[in-house]
Chains A and B, each alone.
Chain A
Amino acid sequence: MPSSYFRTNPNLSRDISSEAGYKEALAVAAKPAEAAAKSFAPVRTGAYRDSIRVVIDSKGVRLDASDFKSHWVEWGSVNQPPSAPLRRGVRAAGLRFKEQGP
């Protein structure tokens, strides 16, 4: 009777992430977070809310807010408390976020 062997692939994560369609699939999974973040965004002109979108680039897939005041809205400052629409949007979508520097 022929034998079967199982060998783990130490490069599994890298191999999966280099598959065609991987980033697109991640982007689809991130769309609910984008919608939730937009719903949490404070609105005056709508510029900040409209700048929230899922971005695919060489670094991967991320939820991004490109408006110039995004940092203050998300993290706050001495003059205003944080609103955190991106972090709240990720949680509301049932995803986990990892905080890291630029």
Chain B
Amino acid sequence: MTLTTVVDVERLVSDYLRAHADITALSTRIVGRTPDSKSTSWVRVTELDAPQVNQPDHLTGSLVQFDCYAGEPGSASGGQPGANALYRAVRAVLGTLPGTHALGAVTGVEILGGPRGQDTDLEPARDFKILTAVIHCHA
């Protein structure tokens, strides 16, 4: 019996971001967990929730968080400007995501915005900006 599973949204959107020229131009890393090396900027992609939209379980409205971390303070991708530039690039690229992809079809992306701050778990504190989005997709 063949099962049809819902879309692996984290992988779909991560692959898309990694391949996009506007993201590669920033020399940033797209990751699923915090990288060991924190010298250059990174975007951590986390699916928070994926409720079923209707019956059968085909279309999902995944709530996804993108943590846009700047590079080391003083570096080209560092500080508040680095975090903001990364956030704006990710936000713009997500706007081009709707369409058919190898892992599934994205029918819509809704940007919900997010806060900016400094992560004090790192010394010195690292600038970041969070983007939350709802990504509607199906297999």
Enumerate chain A interface residues (CB-CB to B < 8 A).
75-79, 81-84, 87-88, 91-92, 97-101
Contact = CB atoms under 8 A, between A and B. Distances in A.
B51 A99 contact: no
Mostly, the B contact residues are strand
Given A82-B46, A101-B115, A75 B130 contact: yes
Mostly, the A contact residues are loop
Contacts of A84: 48-49, 63, 65
A77 B112 CA distance: 19
Contacts, number: 51
Interface string B39-53: 000001010110100
A78 B72 CA distance: 14
A84 B115 CA distance: 13
Given A77-B119, A81-B44, A101-B115, 12 more contacts: A76-B67, A77-B121, A78-B69, A78-B121, A82-B48, A84-B48, A84-B63, A87-B48, A88-B48, A88-B49, A91-B51, A101-B116
Q: Which 6 A-B pairs have the closest CB atoms?
A: A84-B48, A99-B113, A77-B121, A78-B34, A78-B121, A88-B49
B50 to A, nearest CB: 11
Contacts of A92: 51
B133 to A, nearest CB: 11
